[in-house]
Amino acid sequence: MSADIAVGATGILRAFNEAGVIGSADIQVAQRLSALSDETAADEVLLAAALAVRAVRTGSICVALARAAELDPDPDHPLPWPSADAMVEALRASTLVVGGRFGPLRPLALVDSDDGPLVYLRKYFEQEQVIRGILDARASSRPPVDVARAQAAIDEVFTAAGDDDPGPEYDRQRAAAALAVTSWTTVLVGGPGTGKTHTVARILGVLERVLGGDVRIGMCAPTGRAAAQLQASINDYDGLAATPVAHTVHALLGIWRDGTVRHGPNNRLPYDVVVVDETSMLSVTAMSLLLAAVRDDTRLILVGDPHQLVSVEAGAVLTDLTDRSLRSTSPLPVGFAELAGLPEADFSDEETVQLGDGVITLRWGYRFGTVIGDVAEAVNRGDADEVMRLIDADGGEHIELVDPEDLDDVHTDTVAWLSALRTAGEAGDAPAAVKALGQYRVLCAHRDGRYGVGWWSRTIDRWRESGRRTGPWPVGEPLLVTTTDKRAGIYNGDTGVVVRADGGVRVAFDKYGDIVTLHPSQLADAIPAAAMTIHRSQGSQFDVVTVVLPPAESALLTRELLYTAITRARKRVRIVGTADWLRAAVDRRVARASGLRGEVSEWTSPG
């Protein structure tokens, strides 16, 4: 018997369990909820509950009943799916939804939405409602603005910023500052290299001038590494009277290991401005806690790329918010048109609608070549034909597709990179070694299997030159830190390289321009990083990347994964895979069910 077959599961649950649609844990939770509600639940209710548990386990916060049958692993031999209407009827009569004789325990929420009926575990529905309610309340009013003072502040900050880099004729970064001045909530989105954190620093400079020099600024990001990157970007800007300190979201809120939270609706954060970077990585749970802790009169700036891979936990909040803003009926903030110079703007009709909801997109890319940017845009649109045309037209200068069995060029580039790392490492030249570290990387979707990090790491080991592995961490070895050590200033996700030093070896890290070296024993946990997962690469950039696609049937092969991978490259991308695999990636979006993109109404009881 399979280890994931639930003991005692019968009937429809057994069939769906054996087909792999739901796991044993999903069934056990559904059965436990039924027992706690003192109900012998109908099969339709138990199946809906198990699917709701599965949804959270796989990253969604609810299950859309009208689309549940799309989970069927073999459409040619479909499972006995109840109709959505039958499941809704059973749920409306169930104590799991409406409560029972033992009190108001209602572990499931049945919700009508623009996408049809949705079923949630109640905890996640309530968190979604917190997000919806707070953002709607914040959007219902606008902060008072002295337009003349704001215009002077924007002119001062952006004139002082200089014009070293060529940019678009219309400056959306200035428009973003205008939106932040005139809105309680600003959602600043854009791809890698569009200047999001550069813009954030200048927005803070503008707000400091508008609100006064004693303005209190809180900054955070989902991970320690992302917070450190945000801090480095702000440190590079000298236009602030005082440089704020970036924290993790957990540290900013004061979330302890026992689950207690220092800052919440009864003890709000003491800041006039709160910046949240890498918002795409925030789960619905984290976002609901954060919003509940922000004062009503605090300007909130959410920053991220909605096209990147989303939170490993349930929810895709940034994507939901940008999609939701397309339905906005809110007018533009008072004063925004004048401050942003809208008569000269290049916003599309859809983008203008989003501006009313506080969402602005930076589009001008400063980081990588035009071809890579064009391919990334085509991937986002789901235009596989255009992706293939661009790759063919480029001829491999910036981006190419190579067969998984034709790895000669991959071998050549990888060995040359490892050789450069080893040469610099043996010479004890830490700056040269960390510079070489950013020149190349192999990125995989999977950890295991033929197309995963494990297989590629072993293959790369075989490709090394003669002195390839003489110890646990040979000189020139690229390393990925997997445990944060704040005392050492090293965060989960940091990468370093082993170099010769003081008769032994050290691991060198580039900490935003400063070279830091640590003895290997000072690293709590680290793994080889010649090959790494695409998830782990988020927030990093390399001159050249080799992206290893899994076959088309892989559930991980999605548009967001491909976009994230190719936008890690500054200069050149090599995609290892077939045309069919590439097309499958472009065609398949991450499917995370949510009600946050539209309006919803909960079913409570027949009465």
Instruction: Tell me whether residue 528 is annotated as binding.
Output: no
User: Other CB atoms closer than 10 Å to residue 27's CB: what's the count?
Assistant: 26
Collapsing DSSP to helix, strand or coil, 309 comes out as coil
| Residues 547, 399: Cα–Cα separation, whole Å | 11
Q: Which residues contact 246 (CB under 8 A, 6 or more apart)?
A: 219, 220, 221, 227, 228, 230, 231, 234, 277
Give residue for tokens 């998984």: 404
469 CB burial (10 A radius; 0-12, 13-18, 19+): exposed
Collapsing DSSP to helix, strand or coil, 67 comes out as helix
> What is the DSSP track for 559-601?
HHHHHHHHTTEEEEEEEES-HHHHHHHHH-------STTS-EE
Q: Residue 95 has which token pair? A: 């104590």
Instruction: Tell me whether residue 78 is annotated as binding.
Output: no
Instruction: Tell me whether residue 193 is annotated as binding.
Output: yes
**Helical packing angle, 196-211 and 224-235, nearest 10°:** 60
Alpha-carbon separation of residue 463 from 72, 419, 493, 545, 586 (angstroms) = 42, 11, 25, 17, 31
| Residues 241, 209: Cα–Cα separation, whole Å | 10
CA angle 555, 561, 562 (to 5 degrees): 115
Separate counts of helices (H) and strands (E) for the chain:
23, 20
Ranges of beta strands (E only) in 454-584 are: 478-481, 495-501, 504-511, 514-518, 526-528, 531-533, 542-548, 569-576
Q: Residue 87 has which token pair? A: 């499941």
Instruction: Tell me whether residue 254 is annotated as binding.
Output: no
| Residues 232, 245: Cα–Cα separation, whole Å | 10
Instruction: State the amino acid at position 255 in one-letter form.
Output: I
294 CB burial (10 A radius; 0-12, 13-18, 19+): buried
| Residues 553, 478: Cα–Cα separation, whole Å | 31
Asked whether the CA dihedral 300, 306, 311, 317 is positive or negative, the reply is: positive
Q: Residue 132 has which token pair? A: 């919806």
Asked whether the CA dihedral 43, 49, 51, 57 is positive or negative, the reply is: negative
| Residues 562, 575: Cα–Cα separation, whole Å | 9
Query: Percentage helix, strand, coil, to 5, in the chain?
Result: 40, 20, 40
Annotation: binding site: 190-197
Residues annotated in the binding site for ATP, as ranges?
Answer: 190-197
